């Protein structure tokens, strides 16, 4: 059998196939990717096969056992990210040279920020849209780590996250803050109790639910020496565990307010068990942020005073 020639110049066809491959990987399979790409699963599969033949590599396993990347597929995926991000950055720079605010602005937004009255993100978006009505907004909600890595590698242009361990690769702009308090559910032993009489050691004996990634929440878990018996990826999961009556956990006061109002949870009024989180906008330092990103950043600055 004659071995296929390796790629020389990368054509528009290969670029299109790499974009499809990236979508399949990030959707974790063909079924979800067909919705993202708006093409049938059989067509997605055919495009993957075409890319594999062009590269003379097996990129993924797909079948009843599910979707999984091969080691070669992992390498091609990361190489494709660098290539596609560089191309997108090039297009954005060219548009910037023409002073046109067009294209797509990708924003990463941390979980449960919009209920915070101090977060004027909606106002910033409205002001940005007045300046750039033709720009498509692509807003993704994610964890702190997901948003940071997305901004660093170029998948996201702007992130809005809790201020935590800072990276030299990112620029930080302070926006707003929120208070985090400890809560318990209606069926928890602390519900309805006089919390000022609860000893610190007793509080540490209760099962606690916290975020599973490095964050101000994880720092507070260690600082207060709480017994973490459940780990979660977002605030909504913490609420679910608190509502079970089996766990205590930290929530932003603005997000917890509706559950407190309905009598479903209660703040543990321990005078020491609270902390503040400051939120920041993040952009990568290099390469230079796009004009879309800096324009939206200015809208964020203006909205937050």
Q: Is residue 111 part of a domain?
A: yes
Q: Say whether both 163 and 224 belong to one domain.
A: yes
> For the chain, give me the number of helices (H) and strands (E)?
11, 11
| Residue 147 burial by Cβ neighbours in a 10 Å radius (0-12, 13-18, 19+) | buried
Q: Which of 87, 113, 147 is the last residue of a domain?
A: 87
Residue 254 sits in a domain whose CATH number is 3.40.190.290
**Residue 3 pLDDT grade (very low, low, confident, very high; cuts 50, 70, 90):** very low
- Domain check: are 209 and 293 in the same one? yes
Look at residue 29 and tell me whether its pLDDT is greater than 70.
yes
pLDDT in tens, 66-83: 888 999 999 999 999 988
Shared domain check, 112 and 83: no
Q: How many domains does the chain have?
A: 2
pTM: 0.68
Q: Which of 87, 116, 132 is the last residue of a domain?
A: 87
Do 61 and 35 reside in the same domain of the chain?
A: yes
Beta bridge partners of 282: 159, 172
Q: Give residue-wise pLDDT tens across range 98-109.
A: 556 778 999 999
pLDDT band at 96 (very low <50, low <70, confident <90, very high): low
C-alpha span between 228 and 206 (Å, rounded): 9
The pLDDT value recorded for residue 139 is 95
Q: For residue 7, what is the DSSP state?
A: P
User: Half-sphere exposure of residue 30, counting CA atoms within 13 Å on the CB side?
Assistant: 19
* Consecutive H or E run containing 286: none
Render pLDDT for 235-247 as a digit per residue (tens, 0 to 9): 999 999 999 999 9
Distance CA 279, CA 262 (A): 28
Supply the range of the domain harboring residue 110.
104-305
205 and 262 both lie in a single domain: yes
In angstroms, rounded to a whole number, what is the distance separating the alpha carbons of residues 182 and 249?
Answer: 5
- Do 150 and 257 share a domain, yes or no? yes
> Within this chain, do residues 121 and 203 fall inside the same structural domain, yes or no?
yes
Provide CB contacts within 8 A for 179, sequence distance 6+. Answer: 252, 253, 274, 275, 276, 277
What's 30's domain CATH number? 1.10.10.10
Same domain membership, residue 119 and residue 34: no
Q: Based on the fold, state whether residues 132 and 161 are members of the same structural domain.
A: yes
């Amino acid at each position: 059998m004659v071995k296929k020639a390796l790629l020389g110049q990368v054509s528009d066809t290969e670029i299109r196939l790499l974009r499809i491959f990236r979508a399949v990987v990030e959707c974790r399979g063909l079924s979800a990717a067909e919705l993202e790409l708006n093409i049938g699963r059989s067509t997605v599969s055919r495009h993957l096969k075409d890319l594999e033949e062009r590269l003379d590599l097996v990129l993924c396993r797909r079948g009843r056992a599910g979707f999984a990347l091969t080691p070669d597929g992992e390498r091609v995926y990361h190489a494709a990210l660098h290539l596609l991000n560089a191309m997108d950055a090039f297009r954005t720079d060219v548009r910037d040279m023409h002073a046109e605010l067009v294209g797509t602005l990708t924003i990463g937004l941390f979980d449960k920020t919009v209920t915070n009255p101090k977060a004027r993100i909606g106002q910033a978006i409205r002001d940005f849209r007045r300046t750039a009505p033709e720009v498509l907004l692509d807003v993704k909600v994610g964890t702190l780590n997901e948003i940071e890595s997305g901004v660093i590698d170029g998948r996201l242009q702007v992130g809005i996250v809790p201020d935590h361990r800072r990276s030299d690769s990112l620029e930080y702009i302070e926006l707003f803050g929120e208070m985090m308090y400890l809560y318990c559910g209606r069926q928890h032993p602390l519900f309805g109790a006089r919390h000022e009489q609860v000893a610190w050691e007793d509080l540490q004996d209760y099962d606690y639910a916290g975020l599973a990634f490095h964050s101000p929440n994880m720092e507070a878990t260690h600082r207060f020496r709480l017994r973490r018996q459940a780990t979660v990826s977002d605030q909504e999961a913490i609420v679910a565990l608190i509502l079970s009556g089996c766990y205590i956990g930290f929530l932003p006061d603005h997000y917890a307010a509706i559950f407190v109002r309905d009598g479903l949870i209660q703040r543990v009024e321990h005078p020491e068990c609270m902390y503040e989180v400051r939120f920041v906008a993040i952009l990568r330092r290099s390469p230079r942020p796009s004009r879309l990103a800096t324009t939206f950043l200015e809208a964020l600055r203006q909205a937050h005073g």
